[in-house]
Chain A
Amino acid sequence: MPDIADRPYDDAPVSTSKDSDAAVKTAISEGIEEQGDSLAAWAVTINRPAAELYAWWRDFSNLASVMENVDRIDVLDAQRSHWVVKAPGGSTVEWDAIVTEEREGSLIAWTSDEAADVANSGRVTFRDAGARGTVVSATILYDPPAGVIGKLVAKLFQREPNIQVRRDLARFKQLMETGEVATNAMNPRQLEEQGA
């Protein structure tokens, strides 16, 4: 099985490997549930303590305010939450997410349940970065709907998770560092129109 040993003298994150199959396999070997063959990953540094960021994220009902495509998240119990997510063409997709691993202040991992419209799994880590705050890294494994064409359509709608992870983390950073999510809307009505 390919793993880091197949990239001698290369300390780069596996998600950036040019061998995407190996990257996916390595992600799975590191504890992310096997829920697809597409990998999205990004990292941001946020000028706040890890404990604060972790606590905010762990209350999953918060996440809809920084995740552009998420309509709503209902917390069902300590481990399970129900996600309703916008999909291309005005439809929605839904799934239950189950926490598979958590380490207070440093790691949250999840997987979607068997009935998910879009199978996905992933991990968010919070690593202390001293005076710079906290490095928040997200790795998501997913099964894109309708294969390659679905991904193409999704990209046209700017709903492709690689871009989406980056944007969602940027909004999380904005909210945590500044107390608000930046918008270029001139007034609340325009803001609402942009969200539609």
Chain B
Amino acid sequence: MKALTWHGKHDVRIDNVDDPAIINPRDAIIKVTATAICGSDLHLYDGYIPTMQSGDILGHEFMGEVVETGSASTLKKGQKVVVPFTIACGSCYHCGKHQYSGCENGNPADNQDIARELYGQPMSALFGYSHMTGGYAGGQAEYVRVPFSDTGPIVIPDGVEDEKVLFLSDILPTGWMAAENAQIEPGDTVAVWGCGPVGLFAVQSAFLMGAERVIAIDHFPHRLELARKFGAETINYEQTSTYDALMIMTGGIGPDAVIDSVGLEAHGLFVDNAIDQIKASTFLGTDRIHAIRQAIIACRKGGRVSMPAVYGGFVDKFPLGAVMQKGLTLKTGQTHVQHYLPGLLDAIMEGKIDTTFLISHRLPLEQAPDGYRMFHDQQNEVTKIVLKPGQSVAK
């Protein structure tokens, strides 16, 4: 089959690789019909994430048709499913508590050592995202082997177009959980740093959870325009002093809850790596630290800090004093995708959440390397690229 494979920094290719096949009883094989490039894929592309190997198949946002099932799978051939990016067993203590991204069994035993060293305990496995998180082949391919297919994938009703539900795989539940972690109360003002896909879904979710005002902060005009479309007030931090603006806009109190959806894995998973990469990536690194610092400083006393943004290692100058002195609550974590799927599918079907607005580009799988280049170079215009295996290449 054809798949998008990683070979090093800024080197992704379409390769012919072996087809996947059933190994374990709970497996299913999915024929991918739509898959997206995630902002976090760019950090693999930029070479920031350790434990990648040449030839790894990328992609953790995907959906498709069930074409094969293991003896213990509950899926049926021909069903359309969206697959969560976290691989969770549904049987361990953490899954029992719906803390799916803490699943203890999805990550192969040999791949658990690095995360144990870094974090104290290994996390769940992820599709297409380095060997520390499992080394599983990802979804930017024609076919994928999906473990625990009786627990993860959600079956989509017939006749629903792919693009409406594809983002259930990651960014929609991630934005929703970010808003949930902000513990929004009616009348609250919520400030959201970063209007990428997760930030934009957090804006929509915050309103659905009863926020009176949402203030969205970014520097890409097109992304701010999208945030405004969902009712957010906007701040362009390149032309405005964000702290002063937030204080005045909230009558000197500060936002009741703040959401950092800027930070990315680029901070590195090892401290020496991180320092090198922050130096190498110039202002990107400081910007990201700046976002969570600014969010904590702006947040009102007794407020909530929600951090869907992914951090991998260590950061300098974390304002711990402000967290303590102001009595802030900090909630974060990789998304427990499986927990949110049924409710969010309903919200999409009932038209409460708009998902397709995000998609700026559609490409056949064969053009995925071009897609990575575009997404990397043109962040204002390119908000989301959906790849369609099987779609013919435009001449």
- A-side interface size class: 20 to 34
Bound CA span A119–B79, Å: 54
Residues on A close to B: CB < 8 A? 45, 47, 68, 132-133, 158, 163, 166-168, 170-171, 173-174, 177-191
Does B21 reach chain A (CB closer than 8 Å)?
A: yes
Asked whether A178 lies within 8 Å of B23 as measured between CB atoms, the reply is no
Residues on B close to A: CB < 8 A? 17-21, 23-26, 72, 89-93, 96, 104-113, 116, 125, 131, 134-137, 145, 147-148
Asked whether A177 lies within 8 Å of B105 as measured between CB atoms, the reply is yes
> What is the number of contacts between chain A and chain B, taking CB atoms within 8 Å?
90
Task: Contacts A133-B93, A173-B104, A178-B105 given; indicate if A188 touches B21 (C-beta within 8 A).
Answer: yes
Name the distance in Å between B128's Cβ and chain A's nearest Cβ: 11
16 A-B pairs in the complex with CB atoms less than 8 angstroms apart: A45-B93, A47-B93, A68-B109, A133-B93, A163-B113, A166-B112, A170-B112, A178-B26, A178-B90, A178-B148, A179-B25, A179-B26, A180-B24, A184-B108, A184-B136, A187-B19
Asked whether A184 lies within 8 Å of B111 as measured between CB atoms, the reply is yes
Bound CA span A55–B332, Å: 40
Question: In the complex, what residues of A have CB within 8 A of residue B113's CB?
Answer: 163, 166-167
Given A183-B24, A184-B131, A186-B20, 19 more contacts at CB 8 Å?
Answer: A132-B93, A163-B113, A167-B110, A167-B113, A168-B109, A173-B92, A173-B104, A174-B105, A177-B105, A180-B24, A180-B25, A182-B105, A182-B109, A182-B134, A182-B147, A184-B111, A186-B19, A186-B145, A188-B21
Question: In the complex, what residues of A have CB within 8 A of residue B21's CB?
Answer: 186-188
Asked whether B145 lies within 8 Å of A182 as measured between CB atoms, the reply is no
Identify the interface centre among A68, A168, A174, A184: most chain B CB within 10 Å of its CB: A184
Query: B109 touches which one: A174, A177, A188 (CB < 8 A)?
Result: A174
Chain B residue, CB-CB nearest to A167? B109
Bound CA span A45–B94, Å: 11
Bound CA span A184–B133, Å: 10
Chain A residue, CB-CB nearest to B3? A186
Closest 7 CB pairs of A and B: A187-B21, A170-B109, A180-B24, A167-B109, A184-B135, A186-B20, A177-B91
Bound CA span A99–B228, Å: 71
Asked whether B89 lies within 8 Å of A177 as measured between CB atoms, the reply is yes
Question: In the complex, what residues of B have CB within 8 A of residue A191's CB?
Answer: 23
Query: B92 touches which one: A163, A171, A177, A180 (CB < 8 A)?
Result: A177
Task: Contacts A45-B93, A47-B93, A187-B145 given; indicate if A179 touches B19 (C-beta within 8 A).
Answer: no
Chain A residue, CB-CB nearest to B131? A184
Question: In the complex, what residues of A have CB within 8 A of residue B23's CB?
Answer: 183, 185, 187-188, 191
Name the distance in Å between A190's Cβ and chain B's nearest Cβ: 7
Question: In the complex, what residues of A have CB within 8 A of residue B111's CB?
Answer: 184
Task: Contacts A184-B135, A187-B18, A187-B20 given; indicate if A171 touches B91 (C-beta within 8 A).
Answer: no
Name the distance in Å between A145's Cβ and chain B's nearest Cβ: 22
